[in-house]
A and B are shown apart, each in its own frame.
Chain A
Amino acid sequence: MAARGRREGRGLSDEARAAWLLLAPGLAAVAILFLVPIAAAFLLSLTDFDIYALGDARNVRFIGLRNYATLLADPLLWKALRNTAVFLFLGGPLTLGVALAAALLLHSPLARAKGFFRTVYFAPYVTTLVAVAVVFRYLYHPRFGLIDRGLALLGIAPIDWLGDPRWAMPAIVLLAVWKNFGYATILLVAGLQAIPESLYEAARIDGAGAWQTFRRVTLPMLAPTLVFLGVITTIGYFQFFAEPYVMTDGGKPLNATLSVGLLMYKSGFRWWNMGYAAAVAFVLFTLVLAMTAVQLLLARRRDA
């Protein structure tokens, strides 16, 4: 609730002055280190800023939307967008699905040692992405990797996970699911605990079965948590970068794992086409905003 500042004839109250003083470092940091660079990124995307401009800023020229025109005609962008879409639409639902299953198991009154399992499931989430990507790089090895060895027990022929363009993205998705499902699990368990017992009671009296109770009580009550997780996962997965950087040496095979974030990094910091890279960044920005807006709109429509 916004309480009006106490008006004292002229100027700010002591309280308001203190507030601005305390806010100054934080707001300055957000403005200078985040908001100004975002705006500058847009301006940068309208220039031909490259390695020559890095040497001497007089070499920068304003070229309007030409970066965007080049970018939209660049097959690498479309490749990266397709890979990012796979990551998002395969990895997102898979992560939340696994998390929901784990949360339901953990919430069951029949489950033992809940604290232990919760800690174990959450542990991958706090690990360093680069380090576990290195580990998975070897786990996916077709000859001595544990994953193909496990599949062999089921009679499945070895898959060259990271060397085969068809399997490289699914491999990266599996790493993301392994690493992130624990975070969603923790939040979903909290969501399940917040559902009042009386709702289950009522469902039981109405003669609802397990599946109906899940559909009519559990899922709707979890909806806010699921929407939050959907938004967070989308924003995070859109930016995937370290996995292909470490596991597939920057997008191999045949750019089958090139991501938008990786394309931006390579354009900007490897080839020093920073104007072009900024255009890539803005395509990413626009898509993230659009996806977030769509999810929130869908959630609102459902509530109405």
Chain B
Amino acid sequence: MSRTARGLVRNAALLVGAALALTPLFWMVSASFMRPGEASGFPPPWLPSRPILGNYRDLFTRLSIGRALANSLILSVGATLGVLLVDSMAGYAFAKLRFRGRDRLFGLLLAALVIPAPVAMLPLFLMLRAAGLVNTYVGAALPSLAGIIGIFLVRQFALSIPDELLEAARLEGASELAIYRRIVLPLLRPVLATLAIITFLATWNDFVWPLVILTDDSRYTLPVALAGLVGEHSADIELMMAGAVLTVLPVLILFLLLQRQYVSGIMIGSVKE
């Protein structure tokens, strides 16, 4: 095969792959603008004959999806802020501060990464129930703080902070906490941006924990509310697609805007021997 022919075949294959990757998302958006019943016509249409906003209006008025949207937003922002604070401190300490048992402790944390998180779910539910945190934002957000990946991300990045910088500050009499706040934190900004988008997306997309801990539909996040709607309105395809769009669109936009930060986080996360 000539070079041109091979190039054509490869680019054609890439295009087919892109079509397969995008078709479900395209159909989701298209069907969300169709009239009720239109998407189940035969043959199924690719595009709405006349796009309408009625499905979205229904979701917000009749099914109060705005509440779930707000819940998802509150939860994801709250969890992200908490994770940034906790993991920036721990990651920096593991990377730059000297104390006995540091490397062994860090190794233990990494080993715990292979434990599947759902195993902790039942006792965690009972513990938070005893603490009165069932059906609260705090209860829904707390487990995010136990993420080990974030500590790892910050540590890998913080290793590159020059020791001389910290020593100089110590010689000038700066306290350790002041060094963290005034010197380290600003230097960590790139990795914290990465950690922020990863945590936000993970919290937004999470399903099983919110499903367990949020018992009242006024507290449901979008995925939990959507799963509930499917149970009741599974025949209303166009309505369901509008709900799916509302759930997916925010994270997709965020990803497109901050793609570089997100992917760099995934790269660091994968280079742990």
Interface residues of chain A, those whose CB is within 8 Å of chain B, are 2-6, 12-23, 25-27, 29-30, 32-38, 40-41, 44, 102, 105-106, 108, 110-113, 116-117, 119-124, 126-132, 134-139, 141, 143-146, 149, 178, 182-183, 186-187, 190, 225, 228, 231, 235, 238-239, 241-242, 245-246, 249, 261, 264-265, 268-269, 274, 277-278, 281-282, 284-285, 288-289, 292
Contact = CB atoms under 8 A, between A and B. Distances in A.
Contacts of B175: 14, 18
Contact of B119 (A105, A129, A281): A281
Contacts of B176: 14-15, 17-18, 21
Interface class of chain B by DSSP: helix
A266 B39 CA distance: 33
Interface class of chain A by DSSP: helix
B142 to A, nearest CB: 6
A289 B42 CA distance: 48
A2 B103 contact: yes
Contacts of A44: 122-123, 126
Given A23-B94, A127-B248, A149-B43, A137 B230 contact: yes
B130 to A, nearest CB: 9
A301 to B, nearest CB: 17
Contacts of A3: 98
B267 A21 contact: no
Given A18-B176, A29-B146, A117-B17, A285 B116 contact: yes
Contacts of B103: 2
Interface of B: 3, 6-7, 10-11, 13-14, 17-18, 20-25, 27-28, 31, 39-44, 85-87, 89-90, 92-94, 97-100, 102-103, 109, 112, 114-127, 142-143, 145-146, 148, 151, 175-177, 180, 201, 204-205, 207-208, 212, 222-224, 226-227, 230-231, 234, 237, 240-241, 243-244, 247-248, 251-252, 255-256, 259, 262-263, 266-267, 270
B44 A288 contact: no
B241 A22 contact: no
Given A15-B176, A120-B22, A281-B122, A38 B10 contact: no
Given A37-B123, A144-B39, A111 B10 contact: yes
B98 A25 contact: no
Contacts of B256: 119
Nearest to A148: B44
Instruction: Please indicate which of the listed interface residues A29, A33, A235, A274 has the most CB atoms of chain B within 10 Å of its own CB.
Output: A29
Given A144-B42, A281-B121, A235 B114 contact: yes
A16 B112 contact: no
A228 to B, nearest CB: 6
B122 A277 contact: yes
Contacts of A32: 146
B116 A239 contact: yes
A6 B24 CA distance: 59
Given A5-B100, A22-B92, A120-B21, A33 B263 contact: no
B145 A29 contact: yes
Given A105-B17, A134-B240, 19 more contacts: A4-B98, A15-B97, A18-B93, A19-B93, A23-B93, A25-B89, A25-B145, A29-B142, A34-B115, A105-B13, A112-B11, A117-B17, A126-B262, A135-B24, A135-B25, A138-B39, A186-B267, A249-B231, A282-B119
